[in-house]
Chain A
Amino acid sequence: MATADKVLVYDRIKGVKQIPLEEFYTSGHRTCQGCESATVMRQFIKAAGPRTVVAGSTGCMYVANTSYMTTPWIVPWMHTQLGAGGSSAVGMAAGLRALMRKNRIPQEKINVISFCGDLGGGDMGLSGISGALQTDYDLLIIMYDNESAANTDIQATGLTTWGAQTTFSPVGKVERIMHRRWKKNVAAMLAVGHPNCRYVATACATYPPVDFLNKVRKALSIGGPTFIHTYDPCPKGWDFHPRYSHELGELGVRSGLLPLYEIIDGQVVYTYDARKTGKGRIPVREYLTKQGRFAHLTEEDIAYIQRMVDEMWDEWEVPGVAPFRGTLKVSA
């Protein structure tokens, strides 16, 4: 029995003036100047509101938010093991259900949100998330993606953009590019593989404005397990001045490198249409050249990334989501 009968009803936030003013993740944390992952924390809990319990896997958003015996969280928050984003969500949801069944706590809708980094969720914790997305619990898993294992000083993960310099992929004299993996397509992979999961989305906390807040609300009100992948410009690891972290997110989305979409009951809805070049899709160069981690890329490298992005939007069966092309021919 899911608690779905007591789903919280949220209003759609129609503009910035309707965003709730109160904070539930507040000032006094040790994140970098201009950290967009901190903005993800702040916004998801603003959208969800105070009747929420949160778990967070090891990573920047754990370490920087627990400065020895102090915390910026106002809602109950728990640290969980790196890779345990999915299982901690299931554990919390199951615990709440059991407590309510035994009448130890009042019957009430309490949101369960578990967040994890791109390493903790997209690489290490993938199986746990897959397990969680096959349960009947109401829970939301947010993978905040700063494109590296940032907390341990910026190592490449399965979600780091091709060509980026990281501690694992330093620029060499012989090998210029040490990171040659294309970004893992986590959100779409989870949507395709988990038919019971009714809501999967990608988002960028500050662009377009209000979008991420509404995606969190949709995920929480649709019922069952849900998943959101956020792209978070990281001034430290991407090497740009903290002043421009909004700019970088916006450029990443507008260049088409970071596709924004929702998959609601199997229907793909694009948040930002990057199919048209020009006003819709700006050249990736405008995004790449504004980050020190790409300073070593040559013209050919940039052209290669541009080709890959163009292909993603122009040739994929479901642009930005699924790269397959299928033919159903029975061989004679």
Chain B
Amino acid sequence: MIKRVEINYRGIFQKNLAKKIGGDIVMIAARMGQVGFSNGRYSDAPERNGIPCKYFAFVSPDLSEEELEAECGAKLDIDEANISVVLDDTMVKGVEPWAWHGVRPINEKVVPYGHMLIVSRRRPEELVRFMARKPYPYYLALLEGDASFAGLWVYRDDLTHERVLGAIAALDPQLLSIEAVKGYLWDKTHEEHRVEAAQKAFESVRHNIHEVTPLQGIDWPYEIPKLPKWHEFSEGVVVKAVPREFHLGPKGQSRNQLFKRGTTKSQRPVVRFDLCTKCTLCWLECPDQCFDPTPDGYYDIDYEYCVGCGKCAEVCPVQECIVMVDELAFEDNRSPWEHWKRDPEGYVRWAEEKKGKHRVLPNVVTGTGERVVEVEPVPVGGKPKPAARAGA
């Protein structure tokens, strides 16, 4: 028997975390007399900030190491997962690591009665409404918390690692028992608070497991792109360029249709067009060319391509004009400028409702904290005020 665990994480920001969890699953399983090994998905390298990636752990109580390795090693991806861990809940909207993967459902690999374990502060139905309908039931387990992000050189020691291990023990005690998790953490660190964090997560997740039936979720309109075989490439390995096309207005710029990499984002920019001074900076500075100049001088956003870097929000010189908002607050990718044109007041109301009253400004060095400020929404017809740069 083989148990397969996959850890879905955001490239670079959660790389060290995912690796640590995967490695420790194997170490703890070994304490329980099982064999295991863990590895990253080869095709994710080179990892880029924000791109959805995977780490795997394979455990078996009865196979030898060689047999397990022969069964699970050297594979690009796994076919099924008994437990699918998701370290950032915005990935429930789908994951696309490369163009040739297509936008895949986050629960693609979970087996009948297998577990999705998602780190989130949301309620189950708020997540399931974005996920693909499966032909069989499975469980959704929630570990309450925020996505733990850190930089390439840093492991952010905020106990997410210990908590995920404790949570996995709650889902499958044969894979990891909570005693083995605690024993391992204690022997390794001699720090009581780590053991406690695992135990607490174990208890809370046990009461936060929800069956997802084949009636729940959405139809997932995706097709995995068909990869040309090596002999189907044209001579010299020629790839077709994006056709030249430009006009003013939404989607007026031609884009790479085969790689809409919007699943990279965990936040998206919301624009108050009524405050915009048409300074061009968001458009000019976007590293992903997401802004479409409109006939009336504004800049629409193509959210299918936005990766949520936040640069536009940082360089916009007008207070409250571009604000980054949690990606799970949005259902679709429709043009915000068209929405505003159709219904200017309704749009502003909608935008302010999405933005809420708190602005979270990350510190410049990734994962070293953030500033939260409370703001009063600028009313329609309000005067544009200069913004202070958060990073200044």
Contacts and interface: CB of A to CB of B under 8 A. Distances in A.
Interface stretch (B16-24, B42-50, B66-74, B125-133): B42-50
Given A74-B241, A74-B244, A154-B152, A25 B289 contact: yes
Contacts of A32: 12, 48-51
A24 to B, nearest CB: 8
Contacts of A242: 49-50, 309-311
Interface of A: 16-17, 19, 21-36, 38-39, 42, 50, 60, 63-64, 66-77, 151-154, 165, 206, 209, 235-237, 239-247, 290-293, 295
B98 A30 contact: yes
B289 A244 contact: no
Contacts of A17: 280
Given A26-B254, A39-B287, A75-B241, 7 more contacts: A26-B253, A26-B256, A70-B259, A151-B46, A241-B364, A242-B49, A243-B391
A150 to B, nearest CB: 8
26 contacts: A16-B280, A19-B284, A21-B246, A23-B246, A29-B261, A29-B288, A30-B98, A30-B261, A33-B50, A33-B310, A35-B287, A38-B288, A69-B239, A70-B99, A73-B241, A77-B241, A235-B309, A235-B366, A241-B365, A241-B366, A242-B310, A243-B324, A245-B287, A246-B315, A292-B366, A295-B154
Given A35-B287, A42-B287, A77-B241, A245 B153 contact: no
B309 A29 contact: no
B155 to A, nearest CB: 12
Contacts of B381: none
Contact of B258 (A39, A70, A154): A70
A39 B302 CA distance: 17
A32 B302 CA distance: 18
B243 interface: yes
- Interface SS of chain A: loop
B307 A33 contact: yes
Interface string B221-253: 000000110000000000111111010100001
B255 A247 contact: no
Contacts of B46: 60, 63-64, 151-153
Contact of B314 (A63, A77, A246, A292): A246
B238 to A, nearest CB: 10
B285 A68 contact: no
A38 B258 CA distance: 18
A41 B47 CA distance: 20
A34 B290 contact: no
Contacts of A165: 153
Interface in B297-348: 302, 305, 307-311, 313-315, 324
B258 A243 contact: no
B48 A31 contact: yes
A28 B49 contact: no
Q: Give 10 closest A-B pairs by Cβ, nearest first.
A: A28-B256, A243-B310, A239-B151, A32-B49, A33-B309, A27-B305, A67-B99, A70-B258, A34-B309, A244-B391
B363 interface: yes
Contact of B152 (A239, A243, A246): A239
Contacts of B288: 27, 29, 31, 38
